[in-house]
Amino acid sequence: MRYQPNPHFMRLFELFTSAPDSIGRTLQQELGQAHSDTPMLVATGTDLVLFPGSGRPPTAVDFRKGTRGFFEITAVSHLGLAIPYLARLRELDHPGCKNDARELIAQCRVVQDFNSVSYWRDEVAAVAWRGHEEKITDLVGYTCATTADYLERAIENPKLLDFAYLRANLLEGDGPDAIPVSFNNMMAATFALSALDSIHRTLKWLHEQPIDWAQLMVLVVGTAGRPSAGLTWQTNNVCSLLHEASGRKLDPARLIIAPAAPTIDLDELADGEAGARIESRYRSFWYSALSSVEMSRLMWPDYPAFEKRIDRAPVVDDDTEVVTAMPIVRSVDDKRAIVTRLRYVMEDPAAQIATAGMQFVLDQLSANGNRPELVELPGFTDTTYPAGSRG
C-alpha cells in the first residue's frame, strides 16, 4: 500500500505553508502590498521590464534577440563550431556528415554573395557598429569563404578534420597550413560585436529610467539559453550588467534568480488591467523569496548573518590549468583569457554562452560613458580580415 500522510498532519502543514490563505502566503502578500511603490525590474532571457510602482505603467526593452544583427553575427560566429562538430560526427561515422558539410558549404556561399557593406550599414544599421561596417563585411566574407573552402578540401582530404590538425591550422592559426586569421580570433570578435550592441542599447535604456537602484527589486525569470544556465549571479549575464548600470549601487541581496517564475508576454502589458495583474504576481513572487529573510533577522539577530557577495573573477596566466569561475579579460590582447572564456561557457552547463564576450565590453562601456566608439574588441580592433570575400 502506497504511503499517504495523515490528513490531520497535512492540514497542519497547509495552515502555515501551502494553502492559498496560509500564514506564510498571507505575510508575503502583505509585504508585497506594503512595497507596491518600490520599483521592480523583471529580466527574462530576452527582455527587461521595469514596473515603476505606484500604478505607473511598465516600460520594456528587448536586449537580446531584438538586437539588430544578432542572428546574422551569431550565425557567422557558429561557423567556428560547425567545422569541429562535423569533425566529431565524422569520428562517430555519422552517415549524414558529408551531406551536412555540403549544405553548410552551399549556404556559406549564398551568404558570401549576399554580404555587403550596404547591408550592414543601411539594413542592419546597428548604432554601436557605426564605422565598423566595412570591417564586419570583411570578417563575414572571410569566415564564410574560409569555412566553405576548408570543408570542400576536407571532403577530399579527411586529414583536415583530424582534431590536432584542425586545432593548429583553423582554431589557433599557428600550424604550418594555418588560415590567415584564426577562428579563435573570429569567434572572439563576433561574440564581442554582439555584446557591444546589446550592452550599449541596454545601458542607454537603463540610464534613461528613473530607478532608485538602492531600493530596486529585481527578478530574473525563466530560462536563459540552456535550461541549466544562468542560475547564479556569476553565471547570469544580466546580474553583472545591472550591477554596472547601477554604478554598483544595486544590492545583490535584492536580486532573485527564479527560473521557475513565468516569463512575460510583452503584448499583455499593453492592457492596463493585465499589466497590473502581471506586476502583482511578480511582486508576490519576489516577496515569497524574500519574506524569510526579514523573518530570520527578526528571529535570530544575535547569530551570524548571511551576506551575498560578488566573487572576484580569476585571472588566467601561462601556468593556469583549471578555472572554477569565469576568468577576467585584462586587455584586448589577453588571448589566453579570451579563449578560456570560450571554453568555459561550453564546458560549464551552468554558464550562459553569451557571457563569453560580455565582461570586457561591459567594463569598457561603463568606464567610457557608454560610448561604443571607444571600445576595443578582441579579435577585431587589432585584427585585419582579408578583403575580397564580399558579395
State the alpha helices, DSSP H only, in 50-127. 70-77, 79-91, 97-114, 117-118
- Give yes or no for residue 305 having a pLDDT over 60: yes
Average pLDDT over residues 353-364: 90
Domain boundaries, the chain: 21-52+209-299, 70-198+312-374
Strands 59-62 and 47-51 come out as antiparallel
Whose CA is closest to 43, among 272, 282, 276?
282
The whole-angstrom separation of Cα 167 and Cα 181 is 13
296-315 b/e (C-beta count within 10 Å ≥ 16 → b): eeeeeeeeeeeeeeeeebbe
- C-alpha cell of residue 349: 552547463
Average pLDDT over residues 93-109: 95
* Helix or strand run (H / E) with residue 217: strand 217-221
- Give yes or no for residue 36 having a pLDDT over 80: no
Helices 97-114 and 133-156: crossing angle in degrees, nearest 10, is 150
Give the rounded percent of residues in the chain with a pLDDT score beyond 70. 98
For 153-196, the pLDDT digits (tens) are 999 999 999 999 999 999 999 999 999 999 999 999 999 999 99
Average pLDDT score, the chain = 90
For 217-270, the pLDDT digits (tens) are 999 988 777 778 888 888 888 899 999 999 999 999 899 988 878 788 778 887
pLDDT (0 to 100) of residue 389? 57
Indicate the pTM of the whole model: 0.88
- Give yes or no for residue 66 having a pLDDT over 70: no
Banded pLDDT at 199 (limits 50, 70, 90): very high
* Contact between 389 and 145 (Cβ < 8 Å): yes
The terminus-to-terminus CA distance of the chain in angstroms comes to 72
CB atoms within 10 A of CB 293: 13
pLDDT (0 to 100) of residue 103? 97
